[in-house]
């Protein structure tokens, strides 16, 4: 899949010190843009962007998107929000505020500047789905008062705000629904299944599977997702989404664990724990719209290769030979 090149712009990335944000910034700088990275470092990590400190086209600002931001930019990527259950359940009220008030503040900035804005939404808006794979027209099956609701409903409300700003103010919005994404710079203790399994395998601990391991996920390597972000932003003012971005290849959680054990050479055992409340049993994106609207976008990194790169990252980060 050929990469697309673009002209220079000043781009704002909220949540830019996080896993996805830092990879997005790398691509933006590589294509010649200037980047303003905004992050309150609640879950973001300065180590993800330390390698950019000497770049004259990169600027970091410590700021919480729950408060207004007055800057001048040409594009906005709104990625600010804790995205793993451990982090977003730590302070659920703040998680909802980040999704909702943060969206209001970033939409207000985009409206003032009349610039396009991309919202990083999530496949969690589908909840525990009754249809499979998930298509963008599906309204979802979400518990509004559960322990995951701060994230699920916060993102759903943010989508509502984005489309109301589009209808009411003719704002150029882009709403992307992200399916499970993995790769280097994931937080080692964020509770996500790929990082959990890799860290446990590398450290020789038991690999903890919640449920019987038959639940499924579709795992997208971070480079493929970021390419989708860039294509979406360049798709023109008539393409708003929501658009699913993810890898449609589906694996059981047990298959993932076994693949990681094989690649790491670990002797870890698989142990099962009760499934957490509202944990979806199936997750797989229908990417038909993405392929049609985003210049033929499709994932190119298969799970085996993506795991190899991610395991190598964690070996280095955890200093494991």
- The residues annotated with a catalytic role in the active site are 151
Residues 91, 96: Cα–Cα separation, whole Å? 9
- Token pair 């493929």: residue: 224
- Is residue 220 a contact partner of residue 183, using CB atoms and an 8 Å limit? no
Q: Which letter, b or e, does each residue of 126-145 get, where b requires 16 or more Cβ atoms within 10 Å of its Cβ? A: bbbbeeebbebebebebeee
Orientation angle between helical segments 149-169 and 92-113, nearest 10 degrees:
20
Contacts of 116 (CB under 8 A, 6+ apart): 75, 76, 110, 172, 173, 174, 233, 237
| Selection from 2, 3, 52, 206 nearest residue 13 by Cα | 52
User: Distance from first CA to last CA of the chain, Å, rounded?
Assistant: 34
Q: Could you give the CA distance from residue 42 to residue 87 in angstroms, rounded to a whole number?
A: 9
Q: Which whole-number Å values give the CA distances from 286 to 44, 290, 291, in the listed order?
A: 29, 9, 10
Q: Which of 223, 242, 236 minimizes the C-alpha distance to 286?
A: 242
Sequence-ordered alpha helix ranges (H) in the chain = 19-30, 85-88, 92-113, 149-169, 193-202, 222-233, 253-264, 288-293, 303-317
Give the C-alpha distances (Å, rounded to integers) separating 294 from 16, 17, 76, 210, 318: 23, 26, 18, 35, 37
């Amino acid at each position: 899949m050929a990469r697309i090149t673009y002209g220079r712009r000043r781009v704002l990335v909220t949540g830019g010190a996080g896993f996805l944000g830092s990879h997005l910034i790398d691509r933006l700088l590589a294509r010649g843009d200037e980047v303003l990275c905004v992050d309150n470092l609640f879950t973001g990590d300065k180590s993800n962007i330390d390698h950019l400190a000497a770049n004259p086209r990169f600027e970091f600002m410590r700021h919480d998107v729950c408060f207004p931001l007055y800057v001048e930019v040409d594009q906005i990527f709104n990625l600010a929000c804790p995205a793993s259950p451990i982090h977003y359940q730590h302070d659920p009220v703040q998680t909802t505020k980040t999704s909702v008030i943060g969206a209001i503040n970033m939409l207000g900035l985009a409206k003032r500047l009349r610039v396009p804005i991309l919202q990083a939404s999530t496949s969690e808006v589908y909840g525990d789905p009754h249809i499979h794979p998930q298509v963008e027209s599906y309204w979802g099956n979400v518990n509004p008062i559960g322990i995951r609701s701060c994230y699920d409903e916060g993102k759903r409300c943010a989508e509502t705000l984005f489309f109301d700003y589009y209808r009411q103010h003719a704002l150029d919005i882009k709403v992307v629904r992200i399916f499970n994404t993995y790769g280097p710079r994931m937080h080692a203790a964020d509770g996500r299944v790929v990082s959990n399994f890799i860290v446990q395998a590398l450290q020789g601990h038991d690999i903890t599977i919640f449920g019987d391991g038959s639940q499924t996920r579709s795992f997208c390597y971070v480079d493929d997702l970021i390419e989708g972000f860039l294509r979406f932003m360049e798709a023109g003012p008539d393409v708003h989404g929501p658009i699913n971005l993810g890898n449609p290849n589906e694996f059981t959680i047990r298959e993932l664990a076994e693949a990681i054990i094989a690649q790491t050479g670990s002797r870890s055992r698989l142990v099962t724990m009760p499934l957490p409340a509202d944990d979806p049993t199936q997750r797989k994106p229908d990417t038909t719209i993405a392929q049609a609207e985003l210049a033929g976008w499709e994932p190119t990194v298969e799970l085996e290769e993506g795991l190899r790169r991610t395991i190598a990252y964690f070996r280095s980060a955890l200093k494991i030979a």
